[in-house]
A and B are shown apart, each in its own frame.
Chain A
Amino acid sequence: MISIGAQQLKLLEKLCNAPAVSGDEGEVRRIVLEEVKSYADEVKVDALGSVLVTKKGSGKNRARVMLDAHMDEVGFMIVSDDGNGFHRFEIVGSIDVRHLAGKQVIVGKDHLPGVIGTAPIHLVHDTSGKIELNSLSIDLGASGKAKVGEYATFATKFKRAGPSILSKAIDDRIGIAILIELLKHAPSNIDLCLAFSVQEEIGLRGAKVAAYYFEPDLAIAVDSTPARDLPAQNDEENVSYNTKLGFGPAIYIANSSTVDDPRLVRFLEETATKEKIPYQFRQPGGGGTDAGAIQGARAGVPVVSVSVPHRYTHSPISISRVDDWKNTLNLLHSALKRITPALLR
């Protein structure tokens, strides 16, 4: 078993705290390049900014296996400087507007500190409606200046709490951390192709061209998926929780962008059972991963997705369990070691 120690936690913290809104993934890209350089056979930054890493195996008859995790996160872009430190902004990706008011943000390359303010309760007469985006500004302080087109993210810093981790960008830095760890423990029976892809949150763009480039025999998207395992407050049973924290890696069967390859689903399930690694099936339903874009590359790629569950998707603070991270990493590691070209026959 690969364990999660101080070193892995430190790397995840660094990855999570870096701002990397879709289209502006530079800070995470730099961390990834630094981490992979001494383990990879080939490293390429492609036309869109994804980091594509190849690690060749040594055996005969090796399958070409692509693993994908996305570097980008949801965030904001400055759209106007209204003077006196106030800036209007747009949302990049999907963020529920109810998560905006009263939050700290960091803006631009220099991480300028700012806040998304809102009218005080004393001056508000009706609090039943949502605070809409068009009534909000990022306040950078009296002389604060940001340029139109600069990106911003929530300022939340990575935290540990008991068995959990709290961060703004678990989706999908936890996948990035897993890919880096798998490269460091790359099995020799396969050619490992790692896509640290861009622009997942705004249309699975990086993965699409990465899959074309790698031309893999099969691919696994490693992402983070919502756990809606909260108590119901409507006298009904919570039957659509998607996943639950603490129940291990979530194996996908079907979602809005893909029906996962049944052979790969079964293979992951067998691997988990054989290795006694806890796992859960993500409840089939909406949502999607880069697998949707990879599947259609060239003449087609058999795909499956595996996610680390997190609560509070695309909010200032998501929560995941370290054990789910560890079990996802080990399920993938065990699976990679068992892959042969026969798997897909």
Chain B
Amino acid sequence: MTDILPFLKSLISVSGLSAYETPVANLIEAKWKPLVDETSRSRLGSLHGLKRGSGKSPRSSVLIATHMDAIGLMVTQITDGFLHITEIGGIDPRVLPGTPVVVHATGGSKPEDLPGVIVMPPANLLPEGEGDKAVALKYLLVDTGLSEREVSKRVGIGDLVAYDTEPVEMSGENVSGHSLDNRASVAALTICLEELQSKSHVWDVWAVATTQEEVTLGGAKTSAFQIRPSIAIAVDVTHGRAPGMNDWETFLLGKGPTLSIGANIHPFLYKRFAELAEKLEIPFAVEASPAFSGTDAETMQLAADGIPTMVVSIPLRYMHTPVEVVALKDIQRTGRLLAEFVASLQADFFEKIVWDPS
């Protein structure tokens, strides 16, 4: 297995907030090009990589979706050189004061990245009572260190503001940074494609880096419709355990991916994944996802006349904060499990996917 760490670090160092994924899409496309037969972009910007199977045409196909968009912030107003912001995706505003950010500024003659920091104004500058508790997002500001004049020339309303924490390698092969949700899964899918270089597979594989998962699930929905795969797998992150969190909504890092059970998941696909993981001695945890899995599976399942879907997740601590943490080992295992699953798909597998087997 190749070392995925350098690619993972580059994935979490490049911009790609929801609906503005082009920079990260370009990075992923460059990595995937030698691993697939062709690449293309959907109308909503998702990256499609097709690796053809060895079966007779027409072949069944599996779509593996990893969303590449990340949560972040957007400039709503500028006052005296300070930026007011709103969220793109779900953010706990309590992690924001003191967070380093980059402002993707478009107000000047050419786009530029400006460093900045999210700041919490002193209590005496906020309405009565607002400064003594957790400060609401609407009162937080971004300071770029530039003068009021420079800011008004260079920053515009609608400019993106992204976390700027650098990737950090921690002990025990843990990695920390922002946007590991869901670039960790992009890395796992990349490992899957690398493994498939030396494995034969009958089915076509559509590796898809989807857009807009954090805001509309729109990328996966439209790519699933366009590709019309036989089955679809959403690979995402799930909550990793840390002190103060209960043990039924969170999963230990370093103990393998989770396989979900719930309404978004076809039970036959779950069973097949669980059996395969056991056979390969890949550890995993079962994740109960009643009703909503909170992943691309929600919309892929509903594409066209319906698609059997599966959800595989990588445990990740402190989701949507600037300091998410994953275990490299879980990424590697997820990639390997996906590759083994693809390789195990025989020509008639799709016909075997039934409800209520007798």
Contact = CB atoms under 8 A, between A and B. Distances in A.
A162 B150 contact: yes
Interface string B99-127: 11000000000000011110111101111
Contacts of A222: none
A229 B213 CA distance: 39
A255 interface: no
B327 interface: yes
Nearest to B327: A142
B136 to A, nearest CB: 8
A311 B143 contact: yes
A69 to B, nearest CB: 23
A165 B165 CA distance: 17
B327 A104 contact: no
Contacts of A319: 117, 143, 145
B323 interface: yes
A130 B133 contact: yes
Nearest to A240: B124
B317 A117 contact: yes
A234 B128 contact: yes
Contacts, number: 207
Interface residues of B, number: 68
Given A128-B134, A130-B94, A142-B254, A102 B321 contact: yes
A8 B146 CA distance: 21
Nearest to B100: A317
B91 interface: yes
Contact of A113 (B98, B114, B130, B169): B169
A118 interface: yes
Interface stretch (A119-127, A183-191, A291-299, A337-345): A119-127
A131 B93 CA distance: 11
A317 B176 contact: no
Given A104-B168, A117-B321, A234-B127, A129 B244 contact: no
Given A102-B95, A139-B325, A312-B117, A233 B125 contact: yes
B247 interface: no
B142 to A, nearest CB: 11
A102 B134 contact: no
Interface in A210-266: 228, 230-234, 238, 240, 246
B139 A128 contact: no
A116 B133 contact: no
B125 A101 contact: no
A334 interface: no
Contacts of B171: 85, 112, 140-145
Contacts of B130: 234
A163 interface: yes
B134 A130 contact: yes
Contacts of A166: 115, 117, 145
A97 B311 CA distance: 37
B249 A312 contact: no
A11 to B, nearest CB: 20
Interface in B241-281: 242-245, 249-250, 253-254
Contact of B325 (A117, A154, A230): A117
A338 B117 CA distance: 40
A161 B170 contact: no
A86 B117 contact: no
Interface string A75-95: 000000010011000000000
Contact of B92 (A124, A144, A157, A231): A124
Contacts of A175: none
A271 to B, nearest CB: 27
A183 B94 CA distance: 43
A174 interface: no
A147 interface: no
A12 B94 CA distance: 31
A86 B168 contact: no
Instruction: Give the interface size bracket for A toward B.
Output: 35 or more
What DSSP secondary structure best describes chain A's contact surface? loop
A177 to B, nearest CB: 18
A109 interface: no
A142 B253 contact: yes
Contacts of B145: 161-166, 319
B319 A121 contact: yes
Given A139-B325, A234-B125, A123 B243 contact: no
Residue in A82, A120, A234, A319 with the greatest tally of chain B CB atoms within 10 Å: A120
A10 interface: no
A118 B254 contact: no
Interface string B135-166: 10001010111110010000000000000011
B242 A131 contact: no
Contact of B120 (A98, A113, A135, A156): A98
Contacts of A130: 94, 133-134
A343 to B, nearest CB: 36
Interface in A274-323: 311-312, 315-317, 319
B46 to A, nearest CB: 24
B57 to A, nearest CB: 43
A99 B115 contact: no
Contacts of B351: none
A156 B320 CA distance: 19
B180 to A, nearest CB: 12
B318 interface: yes
A86 B252 CA distance: 13
Contact of B91 (A85, A99, A121, A246): A121
Nearest to B172: A142
Contact of B115 (A123, A127, A161): A161
A101 B120 CA distance: 14
A115 B321 CA distance: 11
Nearest to B254: A142
Given A117-B242, A166-B115, A161 B98 contact: no
Nearest to A102: B95
A164 B319 contact: no
Contacts of A119: 242, 244-245, 318
A325 B87 CA distance: 35
B90 interface: yes
6 contacts: A115-B168, A128-B133, A141-B170, A141-B176, A162-B145, A230-B141
Closest 3 CB pairs of A and B: A142-B172, A141-B170, A164-B145
